[in-house]
């Protein structure tokens, strides 16, 4: 994702900006964009305008997208500073989005005050073709879509994980 793509998503006013001082994002700058409904934060490279991290927040939503190439470095620096990288402020956690288009869709809607968007979090799965075929056959036998089967399996796995931690 680059700065131009992100800025085209919003009808905005730049409300703040500064040099970003963490070393995990080299040559970085931070800007705030505001609308009547939400605020977007963007950390980007001043060299090639690559987005390192961006978030959108309103009274109801807080989504964040992070460039996968820099997550480990950022989280390591956060740990060295004794900061939990999952926390936006106080005890409020980000909802992390891994798929750029998912972030852009949600960010545009939230920034424009719309509640008309898919609240589910998209994930990318890279499965071998033989496994996709087996899953498609399972879905067919259950008379549901492959997407619904994968959603059901992921939700079940998350529930098991949550129950094991309890």
pLDDT in tens, 24-68: 999 999 999 999 999 999 999 999 999 999 999 999 999 999 999
pLDDT of residue 162: 67
Residue 60 lies in a domain: yes
CA distance 128 to 84: 35
Q: How many CB atoms lie under 10 A from the CB of residue 144?
A: 13
Domain that holds residue 26: 3-111
Residue 121 lies in a domain: no
Residue 124 lies in a domain: no
Could you tell me if 141 and 88 lie in one domain?
no
Phi and psi angles of residue 90, each rounded to the nearest 5 degrees, phi first: 45, -125
β pairing state of 92-93 and 13-19: unpaired
Could you tell me if 26 and 95 lie in one domain?
yes
DSSP 94-160: PEEE--HHHHHHHHHHHHTT---S--SPP------HHHHHHHHHHHHHHTS-HHHHHHHHHHHHHHH
Task: Tell me the pLDDT tens digit for each residue of 81-113.
Answer: 999 999 999 989 999 999 999 999 999 999 999
Could you tell me if 47 and 80 lie in one domain?
yes
CA distance 29 to 31: 7
**Residue 12 DSSP one-character state:** -
- Residue pair 116/60 in contact (Cβ under 8 Å)? The answer is no
How many domains does the structure of the chain reveal?
Answer: 2
Residue 120 lies in a domain: no
Instruction: Report the 3 state secondary structure along 28-70.
Output: EEEEEEECCCCEEEEEEECCCCEEEEEEEECCCCEEEEECCCC
pTM for the full model?
A: 0.81
Residue 123 lies in a domain: no
Task: Tell me the pLDDT tens digit for each residue of 149-162.
Answer: 888 888 888 788 66
């Amino acid at each position: 994702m680059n700065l131009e793509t992100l800025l085209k998503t919003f009808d905005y006013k730049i409300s703040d900006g500064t040099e970003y001082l963490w070393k995990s994002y080299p040559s970085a700058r931070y800007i705030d964009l505001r609308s009547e409904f939400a605020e977007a934060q963007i950390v980007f490279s001043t060299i090639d305008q690559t987005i390192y991290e961006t978030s959108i927040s309103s009274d109801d939503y807080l989504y964040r997208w992070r460039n996968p190439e820099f997550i480990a470095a950022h989280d390591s620096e956060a740990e060295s500073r004794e900061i939990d990288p999952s926390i936006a402020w106080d005890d409020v956690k980000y909802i992390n989005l891994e798929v750029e288009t998912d972030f852009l869709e949600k960010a545009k809607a939230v920034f424009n005050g719309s509640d008309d968007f898919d609240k589910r979090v998209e994930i990318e799965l890279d499965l071998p073709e033989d496994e996709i075929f087996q899953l498609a056959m399972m879905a067919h036998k259950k008379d549901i879509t492959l997407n619904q089967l994968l959603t059901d399996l992921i939700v079940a796995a998350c529930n098991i994980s949550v129950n094991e931690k309890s």
